């Protein structure tokens, strides 16, 4: 944990929505086993992947996440029998929708990480972080946040530019 970190120009922000029973315990195991993984990931704990609403993922992107990870129990291991199986369908559908509106799916990762898979957690998080780092910041949703409808704008740089070009 105390090794010197490699310096990068861009440190992506990654939000991980995880279930408390498997992946959170898996991440905990990674920690207690003194495994290293990038500190770019912010972990949010949920009772079950079935509780993770697609709107949370959307919100994460809107609030500046460059990548999102959703992780829970392997099929058959769900503490609530089938929460993860419902989630599997929901996220399959949500991926299709995000792709259709033009979000690069490489920024969104789903995984099954059990309480015993500290190593897999490290691998998933590291891979995702490196992938997002290579992709650069997620600009689309952030750009939207700052946009106004024309009438609500007091000064518009785009318009000013258009004026200047006439």
Nearer to another protein, 5 or 134 (CB): 134
Binding site residues, another protein, CB under 8 A: 53-55, 58-59, 62-63, 75, 82, 85-86, 88-104, 109-112, 124, 127, 140-141, 144-145, 147-152, 154-156, 159, 162-163, 166
**Secondary structure string (H, E, C) spanning 85-113:** HHHHHHHHHHHHHHHHHCCCHHHEEEEEC
Nearer to another protein, 2 or 100 (CB): 100
> Which residues pair with residue 67 across a beta bridge?
14
CA-based nearest residue to 58, from 126, 143, 141: 141
CB of 7 to another protein, least distance (A): 28
Q: How far apart are the first and last CA of the chain?
A: 58
CB of 4 to another protein, least distance (A): 29
Nearer to another protein, 51 or 95 (CB): 95
CB of 58 to another protein, least distance (A): 6
**What is the distance between the alpha carbons of residues 27 and 119, in angstroms, rounded to a whole number?**
9
CB of 83 to another protein, least distance (A): 10
Nearer to another protein, 1 or 163 (CB): 163
Cβ–Cβ under 8 Å, residues 26 and 113: yes
């Amino acid at each position: 944990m105390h090794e010197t970190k490699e310096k990068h120009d861009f440190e992506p922000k990654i939000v991980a929505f995880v279930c408390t029973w498997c992946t959170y315990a898996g991440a905990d195991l990674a920690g207690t086993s003194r495994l290293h993984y990038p500190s770019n990931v912010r972990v949010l704990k949920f009772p079950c992947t079935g509780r993770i609403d697609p709107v949370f993922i959307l919100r994460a992107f809107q609030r500046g996440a460059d990548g999102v990870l959703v992780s829970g129990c392997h099929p058959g291991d769900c503490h609530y029998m089938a929460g993860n199986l419902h989630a599997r369908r929901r996220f399959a559908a949500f991926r299709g929708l995000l792709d259709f509106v033009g979000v690069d799916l490489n920024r969104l990762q789903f995984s099954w990480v059990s309480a015993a898979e500290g190593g897999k957690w490290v691998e998933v998080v590291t891979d995702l972080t490196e992938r997002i780092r290579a992709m650069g910041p997620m600009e689309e949703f952030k750009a939207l946040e700052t946009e106004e409808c024309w009438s609500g704008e007091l000064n518009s740089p785009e318009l000013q530019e258009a004026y200047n070009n006439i």
